[in-house]
């Protein structure tokens, strides 16, 4: 099965706008990038999490290639980032979230005087079709967080979200709820 998600899916004018948190999820035929939007994309479910000053939306969607989860991060300043996970990849990600949260719980208090040079505390990688996902538990002067980066192997853009470490369990639980409802089969 090929990759899921539209990849260059703008989110302006949708429920992700701070001024329209409860708004419609209908899509324009053309996205803000000027590219044709995927008008055959259906939204099946949404969960919203508030973790520290960020909002995270987990949207289960379906298009002609199957089901997937779009994860959108909205920062306090309104900045938006998003990644796409096939349902099977989301199940693997959920399992990694458990091990990352266990590792995070075993760490002592942050020591800003003795940070690793790159800030990385633990890393994993996942692959699905032509996408790679890099999971990096990191620490900087503002705290600990899980950076999730998505790349497309054929030179596509890199997308990433940063999940505050203390929100990993809440995020995992929301992902688990969606996977229990929709399964881990990508379909198509």
Start-to-end Cα distance in the chain: 8
Q: Tens-of-pLDDT digits for all 188 residues of the chain?
A: 444 444 444 444 456 554 444 333 333 332 333 334 456 899 999 999 999 999 999 999 999 999 999 999 999 999 999 999 999 999 999 999 999 999 999 998 887 677 777 889 999 999 998 999 999 999 988 899 999 999 987 777 899 999 999 999 999 999 999 999 999 998 75
Tokens 């998003």, located at residue: 82
CA distance 116 to 139: 8
CATH class of 42-108+119-182: alpha beta
Q: Residue 119's pLDDT is what? A: 87
| Cβ pair 17, 23 in contact under 8 A | yes
Q: Residue 149's pLDDT is what? A: 97
CA distance 135 to 97: 9
Is residue 46 within a helix (H) or strand (E), and if so which, with residue range? strand 42-51
Query: Tokens at residue 181, please?
Result: 């409802």
Q: Residue 155's pLDDT is what? A: 76
């Amino acid at each position: 099965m090929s990759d899921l998600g539209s990849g260059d899916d703008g989110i302006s004018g949708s429920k992700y706008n701070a001024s329209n948190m409860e708004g419609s999820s209908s899509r324009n035929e053309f996205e803000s990038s000027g590219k044709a939007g995927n008008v055959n994309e259906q939204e099946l479910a949404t969960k919203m999490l508030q973790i520290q000053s960020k909002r995270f939306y987990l949207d289960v969607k379906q298009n002609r290639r199957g089901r997937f989860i779009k994860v959108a991060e909205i920062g306090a300043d309104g900045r938006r980032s998003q990644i796409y996970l096939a349902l099977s990849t989301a199940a693997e990600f959920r399992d990694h979230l458990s091990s990352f949260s266990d590792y995070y719980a075993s760490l002592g208090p942050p020591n800003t005087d003795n940070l690793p040079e790159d800030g990385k505390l633990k890393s994993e990688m996942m692959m699905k079709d032509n996408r790679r996902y890099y999971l990096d538990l990191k620490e900087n002067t503002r705290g600990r967080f899980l950076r999730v980066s998505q790349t497309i192997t054929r030179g596509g853009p890199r997308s990433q979200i940063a999940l505050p470490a203390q929100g990993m369990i809440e995020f995992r639980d929301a992902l688990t709820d969606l996977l229990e409802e929709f399964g881990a089969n990508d379909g198509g």
